Amino acid sequence: MRKNGIRTLEQLETYATITKDEKRKLKKIISAHPMLISPYYMGLIDWKDPDDPIRKIVVPSAQENLPQGSYDTSGERVNTKLRGLQHKYAQTALILTTNQCAAYCRHCFRKRLAGVVTDEIVTDWDLIVSYLKEHTEITNVLLSGGDPFTLPTQKIAEILHRLSEIDHLRFIRIGTRIPVVDPDRISNDTALLELFETYSRINKQLFIITQFNHPRELTPQSITSINKMHKANLVIRNQTVLLNGVNDIPEVLADLQTSLNSHGVIPYYVLQCRPVKKVKHIFQVPLMTASKIVEDARKRLDGPAKSFRFIMSHRTGKIEILGQMDGRMYFRYHQAKDQRYAGKLFSKKLDETDSWLTL
Ligand code: SF4
């Protein structure tokens, strides 16, 4: 577990005023879903602005109490084949390497396991490797969690070493917010950077999937970590989660994609925020509004910056949100759990308040 970082309300009170009532509510909230904010990310918050977007991402709100929603919005339990391994799409295995992060995002769709006791994290890598070897249809692995870069470098080396011995794996992806919330973890670790270089050049192409959600997250430090990863032959792609009060303004969303692209981070997905239990009312933007925001953002972008897809990561697959016409919203399966739906187009009449699809 990370030693430094803001974890308690007493620490938080040195930055912000918290009323007695809020404190009582927040105590309960963070006992279920812990608060952790890295000192670096804490430094990005403008405390004079109560609606600061960075603050909204990591500082818990006393409103995180809605019983509706789900802790498993994408059907991860059903897709779990072994402890720590999910196999939803034939070609991809998703591995939950840790339940730790350098900062806990309040909108996290894995709130059920981030920073709390869980039985979903890999404990036996032998079993994982055997499964991957048996399933020759798997061409790639996505290392996720939690944040894999909270693991010791030695552990990351072991994992990459074991995966690189599996011939039919073509590439490895690592999903991480470390370049956003603790970029020096990467920039100052020469052993980690050498490891990237070795595995990307000699063994398997490594992809880093970041989650930058606001242009202010692209600081000189985070850009340094990006540059160092590029130098180590990594391909970096970004998934932005569309978040109410954070990036739901076309100019902000466009600025983020342009800035990412200008630093060689490929805009990959903009994700519709999932209906996460306790917080969906805080972070979700209704689909009709969301698609207009994304379209308005696209109008401001050049080709490479708008290369992302607007995606709903649904229980049934990755559904691209194409846009609306004549009062209907149009969708297409970008990835389908059931291959019969792969590439399928469909439309739905939505209410102004609908934020997710029930299929
Ligand atoms: S870093 Fe990722 S896993 Fe961790 S809390 Fe944020 S979104 Fe969730």
**Cα(26)–Cα(20) distance, rounded to whole angstroms?**
10
Centre a 10 Å sphere on the Cβ of residue 43 and count the other Cβ atoms it contains. Answer: 11
CATH topology for 9-349 is TIM Barrel (3.20.20)
Say if ligand 1 is within 6 A of residue 33 CB.
no
Residue 109 CA: nearest ligand 1 atom is 8
Residue 110 CA: nearest ligand 1 atom is 8
Residue 311, helix vs strand vs coil: strand
Distances (CA, A) of 187 to 40, 49, 93, 235, 260: 14, 30, 28, 16, 18
Say if ligand 1 is within 6 A of residue 5 CB.
no
Type of residue numbered 153: T
Residue 347, helix vs strand vs coil: strand
Q: Taking the domains of the chain in order of start, what are their residue ranges?
A: 9-349
- One pLDDT digit (tens) per residue for the chain, 359 residues: 667 899 999 999 999 999 999 999 999 999 999 999 999 999 999 999 999 999 999 999 999 998 889 999 999 999 999 999 999 999 999 999 999 999 999 999 999 999 999 999 999 999 999 999 999 999 999 999 999 999 999 999 999 999 999 999 999 999 999 999 999 999 999 999 999 998 877 678 899 999 999 999 999 999 999 999 999 999 999 999 999 999 999 999 999 999 999 999 999 999 999 999 999 999 999 999 999 999 999 999 999 999 999 999 999 999 999 999 998 999 999 999 999 999 999 999 999 999 999 98
Report how far ligand 1's centroid is from the alpha carbon of 9 (Å).
20
Centre a 10 Å sphere on the Cβ of residue 10 and count the other Cβ atoms it contains. Answer: 10
The pLDDT score that the predictor gives to residue 355 is 97
What is the CA angle 258-261-265, rounded to 5? Answer: 140
Q: Contact, 228 vs 195, CB < 8 A?
A: no
Report how far ligand 1's centroid is from the alpha carbon of 238 (Å).
14
Q: Contact, 241 vs 285, CB < 8 A?
A: no
Which of the 8 DSSP states describes residue 216? G
Q: Which of 30, 36, 104, 151 to mutate to test the pocket of ligand 1 (most atoms within 8 A of CB)?
A: 104
Say if ligand 1 is within 6 A of residue 337 CB.
no
Which helix (H) or strand (E) segment holds residue 272: the answer is strand 266-272
Angle between helices 153-164 and 125-134 (to 10 degrees): 30
Closest by CA position to 287, among listed 255, 320, 254, 258: 320
Q: Contact, 1 vs 82, CB < 8 A?
A: no
Which of the 8 DSSP states describes residue 291? H
Report how far ligand 1's centroid is from the alpha carbon of 105 (Å).
5
Report how far ligand 1's centroid is from the alpha carbon of 144 (Å).
9
The pLDDT score that the predictor gives to residue 48 is 95
The pLDDT score that the predictor gives to residue 1 is 62
Q: Contact, 198 vs 156, CB < 8 A?
A: no
Work out the widest C-alpha separation in the chain, in whole angstroms. 58
* Helical ranges in 263-353 per DSSP H: 280-283, 287-299
Say if ligand 1 is within 6 A of residue 101 CB.
yes
**Cα(284)–Cα(109) distance, rounded to whole angstroms?**
12
Q: Contact, 232 vs 226, CB < 8 A?
A: no
The pLDDT score that the predictor gives to residue 2 is 66
List the structure tokens of 146: 């939690």
Among protein residues, the one with the nearest Cα to ligand 1's atom 6 is 105
List the structure tokens of 21: 């009532």
Say if ligand 1 is within 6 A of residue 177 CB.
yes
The pLDDT score that the predictor gives to residue 200 is 79
Report how far ligand 1's centroid is from the alpha carbon of 147 (Å).
7
List the structure tokens of 333: 């399966």
Closest by CA position to 121, among listed 161, 164, 162, 76: 76
